[in-house]
Amino acid sequence: MRTLSPLLLPARPRINKTISLYSLPLRFYVGQLALLTALGVLFTWLSRNEALDRWLTQMWFDAAAQRFPWQNNPWLDLFNHRLAKYGAIAMAVASLLYGLVRRHPRWIMVALLMGLGTAVVGVLKATSHHSCPWDLVEYGGKALSYPLFGAVPDASGPGRCFPGGHASSGFMVMGLWFGLRREHPGLARLALAAGIVLGLAMGFGQVMRGAHFFTHNLWAGWWVWLTQVVTWGVTTTLMNKEPATL
């Protein structure tokens, strides 16, 4: 039997391993710029006004005992501070392992987005002069509070409390949106909503403990999403494997 020459055989299509890093349309980034700007203005006003923060924190503060009764609650620590955080981290690890095993760059990128979001918040928190509520004079501590972008007082305390680091572990789940959006847009929206809800819930648990003001957690979500959007946009633009659709 005669065999066809390899030159005459149909060529196998080359698999581009980076094609899954799809580009998002320009209108997406324009919309996100408008949304993040509007939220930034709102969060700045809430942070400087402080009324919402003080009202929510006062609900969980025992003025007579000068302490936060839920600060060392074992159940709150177990479910909110440990299990919720470990669950979010497990999602990031699972995304990374799936991407590596299946050679799927998009899911490796998703894991990167989740890690970078929390890392940015961690750096900002580590360099912040804002102290946690339980360290402030009005809540039984010794540190002085000051509004966002205000002058730092000499007795600002230990600081390192803005934005909310723990809440960022929940908000990082929003990064799953980028992995699911193309093939499963419904699940992508669900993942985005789950990340927002998880971040707010984990952050509110910290409010109950006296570890953060509520706006600390709002800013954590803002920074996580900004980091994820910018990282995805820059990376896919540099890769330039697939043109953006309008």
pLDDT tens digits, 3-26: 555 445 454 444 444 457 899 999
- List the structure tokens of 112: 């990167």
**Residue 90 belongs to a domain:** yes
Using DSSP, state whether 53 is helix, strand or coil. helix
pLDDT tens digits, 185-215: 999 999 999 999 999 999 999 999 999 999 9
Q: Record the pTM.
A: 0.90
**Residue 150 belongs to a domain:** yes
How far apart (Å, rounded) are the C-alpha atoms in residues 155 and 149? 16
Q: State the distance between the two ends of the chain, measured CA to CA, in whole angstroms.
A: 53
pLDDT tens digits, 25-38: 999 999 999 999 99
How far apart (Å, rounded) are the C-alpha atoms in residues 39 and 26? 20
Domains: count for the chain: 1
DSSP secondary structure code for residue 150 in this structure: S
**Residue 7 belongs to a domain:** no
Q: Cβ–Cβ contacts within 10 Å for residue 203, how many? A: 30
Q: Which domain holds residue 204?
A: 26-235
